[in-house]
């Protein structure tokens, strides 16, 4: 990969951040990390990545959703590909959908969703496809 593509990885779980960073870097990506939405915004202001991987549940159950919705409203981030990582769907299954109806009824701010634990082969294939324009 002659021209390294940059990925911003946002997750409050350090182990997930570290393991995914290692896997992505081994495939030639330049990986920036953030542990919460505030750090992600600072990283985005410093440099817009080619793609963002974003956890939904961080400080709140919807912090990642909130950030993704906010980004999609801003022209400079409107076309930023966002891959969502989450255990949110499991939480909905366990706790029931009523608590999350305000989210479930929304148009999701990303086309791509991977449940935790993440199948890294599928995630890598999806990232390659997205960055290749597919």
Q: State the distance between the two ends of the chain, measured CA to CA, in whole angstroms.
A: 18
Say how far apart CA 102 and CA 40 lie, in whole Å. Answer: 24
Domain holding 14, by residue range, is 6-127
Residue 61 lies in a domain: yes
Q: What phi and psi, each to the nearest 5 degrees, are found at residue 33?
A: -125, 155
H or E element, residue 69: helix 63-72
Tell me, what CATH number does 115's domain have?
Answer: 3.40.50.2300
- Tens-binned pLDDT, residue by residue, of the chain (134 aa): 447 999 999 999 999 999 999 999 999 999 999 999 999 999 999 999 999 999 988 988 789 988 999 999 999 999 999 998 888 777 666 777 676 666 655 666 788 888 888 999 999 999 999 999 86
| In-domain check, residue 132 | no
Question: Token pair 């981030």 is at which residue?
Answer: 77
For residue 1, what pLDDT is reported?
Answer: 44
Residues 11, 40 contacting (CB under 8 angstroms): no
Q: Give a yes or no: residue 12 inside a domain.
A: yes
Structural domain contains residue 134 = no
Q: Please report the pLDDT score of residue 15 as a whole number.
A: 96
Q: How many domains is the chain partitioned into structurally?
A: 1
Res 103: pLDDT: 62
- Is there a domain that residue 13 lies in? yes
Q: What integer pLDDT is reported at residue 95 of this predicted model?
A: 75
What dihedral do alpha carbons 12, 90, 52, 109 form, nearest 10°? -120
- Whether 133 is covered by a domain: the verdict is no
Would 66 be classed as within a structural domain?
Answer: yes
* Amino acid 7: pLDDT: 98
Q: Which pLDDT score, from 0 to 100, does residue 36 have?
A: 96
1 lies in a domain? no
């Amino acid at each position: 990969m002659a021209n390294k593509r940059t990925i911003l990885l946002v997750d409050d779980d350090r182990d997930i951040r570290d393991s995914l960073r290692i896997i992505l870097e081994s495939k030639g990506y330049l990986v920036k990390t953030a542990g919460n939405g505030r750090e992600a915004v600072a990283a985005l202001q410093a440099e817009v990545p080619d793609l963002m991987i974003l956890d939904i549940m961080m400080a709140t159950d919807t912090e990642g959703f909130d950030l993704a919705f906010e980004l999609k409203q801003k022209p400079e981030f409107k076309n930023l590909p966002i891959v969502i990582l989450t255990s949110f769907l499991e939480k909905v299954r366990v706790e029931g959908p009523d608590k999350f109806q305000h989210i479930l009824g929304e148009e999701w701010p990303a086309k791509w969703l991977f449940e935790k634990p993440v199948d890294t082969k599928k995630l890598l294939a999806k990232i390659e496809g997205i960055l290749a324009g597919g």
